[in-house]
Amino acid sequence: MILTDYFYSTHDATWDIALQCGVKHGTIRLPEDDSFDLSSLTHLKDVVENFNSAGITPLVVEPLPNKLHDHIKKGDSLRDSSIEIFINLIKNLKEVGITTICFNFMAHYGWTRTTFNLPERGGAKVTGFDLHDFKADDYSIAHKELWDNYFYFVKAVIPYAEQYGIRLALHPDDPPLGSLGNVARILTSLDAINRAVRTIDSPNLGVTFCQACYYLMGENLEDAITKLADKIFFIHFRNVRGKKTCFQETFHDNGDINMASIMKAYIREGIDVPIRVDHVPTMANEKITVPGYDAFGRMFAIGYLKGILDSIS
Ligand SMILES: [Mn+2]
């Protein structure tokens, strides 16, 4: 496994904390302000140089920039121009040594929570979701239309991903519910994921195995890892407690998933890909800044992940 952490593209304490914890590789979020031109190789090189000079090697981009992806998911009039920019981005990522893009196909609502301050062990705070508390707006899209938009996108970009050696790693829907309000969700079961990544047969199309999403789908995790072994390109190391209609995040050692046995399953299947910790609690003396991404919980999670990896390998 290649240990990464999730970084914004401006040097902040998360970079130094990760480096101090022994993380040398990055899963990076590209800048979203208008001064960053997604078409510019120079701008991308500047971002990567900045990481490199701090001692971090970026390997994964997550997510596919929303200013492109929202049009692609909805299939609106800016879809084709957005796909063109993305194809150019694939070429540029190859130039700077980034190998993997984590993308999702959740339209309109991204990863969705109904609360951001549930108590977890010792009074730490976590995010949670309860379908009863979810308030939908009036946007709607149907399952068929979203599947059509998904395959339209994948067909357009896969030849370039293959040509430039970039792996597209599909993240499942979070939460994996069949719909939110009138917005269809399509990547909510192992069967659906298999349809998404095997209908078009390409070695460059696979998945981000976000463990907790697969758990909340009701899938057996070890079984899912075995069935997707050739397609797991990136791992979100994440734990959770509950069911898909009502759940909360947890410390990595305090949820429903046995994290050590899941790690053994990856190793048994020969999966050796970038991994990062995902969705951590906010702890004492911290304010909730980016829910799920505060520093102390991340330190704990990285240490816990490193301990499991060291004990197995
Ligand atoms: Mn995830």
Residues 273-288 have pLDDT tens digits of: 999 999 999 999 998 8
| Residue 282 CA to ligand 1 centre (angstroms) | 17
pLDDT of residue 288: 84
- DSSP structural state of residue 231: G
| Residue 51 CA to ligand 1 centre (angstroms) | 23
pLDDT single digits (tens) 5-56: 999 999 999 999 999 999 999 999 999 999 999 999 999 999 999 999 999 9
For residue 8, give the 3-state DSSP assignment: strand
- Residues 126, 248: contact at Cβ < 8 Å? yes
| Residue 280 CA to ligand 1 centre (angstroms) | 11
8 to each of 25, 47, 116, 124, how far by Cα in Å? 13, 10, 21, 24
Give the fold, CATH level 3, of 2-312: TIM Barrel (3.20.20)
Instruction: Please state the domain extents for the chain.
Output: 2-312
Angle CA 129–132–134, to nearest 5:
60
pLDDT of residue 296: 93
pLDDT of residue 133: 98
| Residue 236 CA to ligand 1 centre (angstroms) | 5
| Residue 189 CA to ligand 1 centre (angstroms) | 15
Name the band, by pLDDT with cuts 50, 70 and 90, for residue 289: confident
pTM of the model: 0.97
pLDDT single digits (tens) 95-146: 999 999 999 999 999 999 999 999 999 999 999 999 999 999 999 999 999 9
Show Cβ contacts of residue 95 under 8 Å, excluding neighbours closer than 6 positions. Answer: 41, 44, 45
pLDDT of residue 313: 79
| Residue 261 CA to ligand 1 centre (angstroms) | 19
